[in-house]
Amino acid sequence: MLTDAQLSAVADLVTEVASTEIMSRFRRLEAGDVRAKTSASDLVTVADTRAEAALARGLAAILPGSTVVGEEAVAADPRILDRLAGEAPVWVVDPIDGTSNFVDGLARFAVLIALVDGGRVVASWTHAPAMGLWATARRGHGVLLDGHSPAPVDLAAPPVEVPDLRTSHLRRWPDGHHDLLARLTSHFPAMAHFSPSGLLWVDLVRGSADAAVLPWDKPWDHAAGLLMLEEIGGVTSDRHGRPFSLTGDHELPIVAARDPRVATRILEVAHPRRAERIPRC
């Protein structure tokens, strides 16, 4: 769908915006530059809003006729999410994934861009400028992580016995799911929290994490990583065997795993006697 020149133009745009709008403010924010959205832990900064505006303008120019779904734009007008069900190609944008880390001066934050066509992510860009990290994916063409192609999942090898499982902090879990979380914690006592979501997907692709349980499904947090995981042979699934859907056609929580056998095992713990066996993508 995109030419090589357009793919390069997106990477150049992300690099430029990360430099001018984000890194220029990293560890230099003033009190008036930060405000809370839905809660004290849900923050937005002037860097978020200015970066999203610049990215939206640039991406629309790179692919005429496309639309943009950005985190901050949706916060102002939730109807923008309806664009994901439309016919035009959609850029899904998280200008700063991990805003709380950015505000605290921590380097674990990233710019996330995904291009969606026909309901599927066809290309993605993940850039963590303070870490010097780049990850890109193109449907059918694999993943590049800092210039190298990660090894695909080897299903001929036995699955890991004790998976390195990640999930979000308790505050991200909706009411009614705490029994499920308790079952997971009991069975996987070393389960760790992740932050932010964009870099979780990088950890899965790199192999430094085996699986994750996702209790929320904002498309800008996950779209870029979904494609990366699929391209190495990984899977996502709810307890009915339905993959993560950008339009919400699934049941939370979602399990994301490098190995479908590990995904099935986690779902069997989370939902005894209810998990479907997960097919490989």
Quote the radius of gyration of the chain (alpha carbons, Å).
18
Q: Compute the distance between CA of residue 165 and CA of residue 190 in angstroms, rounded to an integer.
A: 8
Which two structure tokens, joined as six digits, stand for 281?
Answer: 């993508």
Which two structure tokens, joined as six digits, stand for 241?
Answer: 């065997």
Q: Compute the distance between CA of residue 55 and CA of residue 60 in angstroms, rounded to an integer.
A: 8
Q: Compute the distance between CA of residue 74 and CA of residue 38 in angstroms, rounded to an integer.
A: 13
* Cβ 97 vs Cβ 111: under 8 Å: yes
Q: Which of 133, 116, 136, 15 is nearest to 67 (CA)?
A: 116
DSSP track, 226-240: HHHHHHTT-EEE-TT
In angstroms, what CA-CA distances link 268 with 48, 75, 247, 265, 276?
A: 39, 35, 25, 5, 8
* Cβ 17 vs Cβ 57: under 8 Å: no
* Cβ 133 vs Cβ 178: under 8 Å: no
Task: Return binding residues for Mg(2+).
Answer: 71, 94, 96-97, 221
Task: Return binding residues.
Answer: 71, 94, 96-97, 221
Q: Which residues pair with 67 in a beta bridge?
A: 90
In angstroms, what CA-CA distances link 100 with 1, 92, 107, 108, 269?
A: 34, 20, 11, 10, 31
